[in-house]
Amino acid sequence: MSLAKNVEFLRSLPKMNGFNGFGAYGLALESNRQSPLVETTGFGSNPGALKMFSFTPDTLQKKPGLVVVLHGCGQTAAGYDLGAGWSMLAKRYGFALLMPEQRSSNNANTCFNWFNPEDIAREHGEACSIRQMVARMVRDHKIDPRRVYVTGLSAGGAMTSVMLATYPDVFAGGAVIAGLPFGIATNVREALSGMMQSSSRPAGELGDLVRKASKYKGPWPKLSVWHGSADRTVNPANGNEIVKQWLDVHHLPQAAMSEGTVDGYPHKVWWNADGETIVESYTITNMAHGTPLGIAGNDERYGVEGAFLIEAGISSSYHIANFFGLTERVRQPKAAATESPSAKLIPLVSPISASGPDLPKAPRPKPTPVRDAPPSRQKPDRVIDVGAVITRALTAAGLMK
């Protein structure tokens, strides 16, 4: 079936929360507050015909990271940014933000075409357009290519799966909110079936879909998965399938290494040999389809409640930024003169591997174990080693942020 016929089939369906109902919300948000996002043109051949919006705060971290945020169906980049609070986080913590935007000419409901083979293959369509935007941001803002991440809601979450599978050499990690695994649909009918039913597939079969999407051999991006247990738009079983897919890619066991609660919600964790969390999942009990909002770990609120942006008592955007290792407070110029150089090197969040994906065609080094604190802050070696082990264990169990 051609893409045109698939889109026509989608138009003929009764209204569905996942595909319709976002548009008015996005416009309403933008009318109440001027967006900090800036549009950029001329970022490449743009085979997917997407729009590029971004936000770069005045003060960036010394080696700034970049978060690519993909909106849901019917939404705009500015509307989802305001709702999820990403530009607020970027300003507070000094990282850059890239928000691609879909056009109605590509998809009548402005969904990213995560199910269209022409848009989800490496160097083709929408996936290639997003990759070109990342390259522009890295070049223009001196982004650390090892600190590039991607996240998204619903169709944007499914497109996040696409980007991690097709460009694992570009992204150090990702976070999928109410999305779907990579490669389970090649047209709208299959996409709708996956959304509503989420057939269980063998882990190896799911992992092969990712491994075959590129010639890359790893190390692979880490992943955070979020899904509401009462989601009637994208079956919650999809969250389990995404986790299953990436556990197989990482050669990790299907059984969680640690289970606990974060802000009252079930949280599962898998880590690697260095104690770094590689895969995690959040089940937002009794929450419908959307992005969970709430008070962050620093007692601040990011985002605005609205359609498919749901007050749940947990700030997914903050926790995702923390999982990416981006919530170290940005140092202001005046403060920098009074702090020792070693102080800036000690992370305020969970330890992460110093390694990450490099740009395409550039060799990617092997993972580097988490290092101890710099010498100026070190106590005797044995004490530091024990503290590092305890910190990693508590972080992985969700008992420390």
398 in a domain, yes or no? no
171 in a domain, yes or no? yes
204 in a domain, yes or no? yes
What three-state secondary structure class fits 40? strand
Question: What pLDDT score does 306 carry?
Answer: 87
Question: What pLDDT score does 272 carry?
Answer: 95
Question: What pLDDT score does 66 carry?
Answer: 98
342 in a domain, yes or no? no
367 in a domain, yes or no? no
The answer to whether 63 and 144 are in contact (CB under 8 A) is: yes
Question: What pLDDT score does 298 carry?
Answer: 72
Pairing of strands 265-271, 309-311: unpaired
- The tens-digit pLDDT sequence of the chain (401 residues) is 444 544 444 444 433 433 433 333 343 344 456 899 999 999 999 999 999 999 999 999 999 999 999 999 999 999 999 999 999 999 999 999 999 999 999 999 999 999 999 999 999 999 999 999 999 999 999 999 999 999 999 999 999 999 999 999 999 999 999 999 999 999 999 999 999 999 999 999 999 999 999 999 989 999 999 999 999 999 999 999 999 999 999 999 999 999 999 999 999 999 999 999 999 999 999 999 999 999 997 788 999 998 899 999 999 999 999 999 999 876 655 544 334 333 333 333 333 333 333 333 333 334 433 333 333 333 333 333 445 544 554 454 444 54
Annotated catalytic residues are 154
* Encoded tokens for 261: 């609660």
The answer to whether 169 and 145 are in contact (CB under 8 A) is: no
* Encoded tokens for 90: 């970027």
pTM for this prediction: 0.78
Assign residue 291 the CATH number of its domain. Answer: 3.40.50.1820
Cis, bond preceding 219 (omega within 30 deg of 0):
yes
Question: What pLDDT score does 228 carry?
Answer: 98
The answer to whether 232 and 357 are in contact (CB under 8 A) is: no
198 in a domain, yes or no? yes
11 in a domain, yes or no? yes
Question: What pLDDT score does 12 carry?
Answer: 41
256 in a domain, yes or no? yes
The answer to whether 310 and 287 are in contact (CB under 8 A) is: yes
Q: How many whole angstroms from its chain centre is CA 20?
A: 23
* Encoded tokens for 130: 């997003």
Question: What pLDDT score does 285 carry?
Answer: 98
The answer to whether 277 and 350 are in contact (CB under 8 A) is: yes
End-to-end CA distance of the chain: 48
Q: Structurally, how many domains does the chain consist of?
A: 1
The answer to whether 99 and 71 are in contact (CB under 8 A) is: yes
For residue 317, give its domain range: 3-323
